[in-house]
Chains A and B, each alone.
Chain A
Amino acid sequence: MIIARVVGNVVSTEKHPQYRGYKILIVQPIDPHGRPAGRSFLALDGVQAGVGDKVLVVDEGGSARSVLGDEGAVTVRTVACGIVDRVDVESVP
């Protein structure tokens, strides 16, 4: 899992039937101190997250299906599965 910041969302009408009904988030991976780390990507929303939220993102199909409670969604791979309240790290720069 990675920690990421929700920076936006994507609207799509014409899409694969397994993706119907889910919100698509744009997430920016961040390091433990909140700085951007790597390229943004898209994740389905499994936790009612919104723009600005720090989220936990799982990028693995089996877990993604389990988070969504939708075992038939075999093409789904990336899902936000938690909202992060706080990250404690030993060394803050």
Chain B
Amino acid sequence: MKLGRVIGTVVSTQKLESLEGLKLLLVQPLDEKGAEAGAAIVAFDVARAGEGDLVFFEAGKEAAQANPNGWFNPADAAIIGIVDAVNVAESTVKAGRK
């Protein structure tokens, strides 16, 4: 799992049936201090996150099984939760909408 900030949305009309109704969000991975950690990725959302939210996401085959409707999704990243607070010494990363 990693921390990330939702920085945008991705709209796709022509897509696989199993992705119907799922929100695709653009996520910038962050470290615990809020610094960018790698390139932005596209993740589908099961936590009802929105743009600007601090979230945590899961990658790999586990993400493909995160869809609450039970289908196996062809996805390699899923937003699992919205972060309320990050407790770490000298952290500057802020939870909530940016």
Q: Would you call B61 and A19 a contact (CB within 8 A)?
A: no
- A12 to B32 CA separation, bound complex (whole angstroms): 15
A: contact size bracket: 20 to 34
Interchain pairs with CB closer than 8 A, number? 90
Cβ of A8 under 8 Å from chain B: yes
Is there contact, CB below 8 Å, between B82 and A15?
Answer: yes
Once the chains are docked, how many angstroms separate the CA of A7 from the CA of B88? 6
Whether the Cβ atoms of B81 and A9 lie closer than 8 Å is no
Write out, one digit per residue, whether chain A residues 1-27 have a CB within 8 A of any chain B CB (1) or not (0): 000000111111111110100001010
- Would A16 and B66 count as touching, CB distance under 8 A? yes
Instruction: Tell me whether A61 is interfacial, beta carbon within 8 Å.
Output: yes
* Pairwise interchain contact A75-B86, C-beta atoms closer than 8 A: no
Chain B interface residues (CB < 8 Å from chain A): 1-3, 31-32, 37-38, 46-48, 56, 58-63, 65-66, 68, 78, 80-89, 91
Q: Please name 6 further chain A to chain B contacts, defined as beta carbons within 8 Å, in addition to the given A17-B68, A28-B32, sorted by A numbering.
A: A9-B88, A10-B3, A11-B86, A16-B80, A19-B81, A39-B31
Please list 20 pairs of residues, one from A and one from B, whose beta carbons are closer than 8 Å in the complex, sorted by A's number: A7-B89, A8-B88, A8-B89, A10-B85, A12-B81, A14-B47, A14-B48, A16-B80, A17-B68, A24-B56, A40-B32, A41-B1, A41-B2, A42-B1, A42-B3, A75-B58, A75-B65, A75-B80, A76-B62, A78-B1
Task: Give me the interface of A with B, judged by CB distance under 8 Å.
Answer: 7-17, 19, 24, 26, 28, 39-44, 51, 61, 74-78
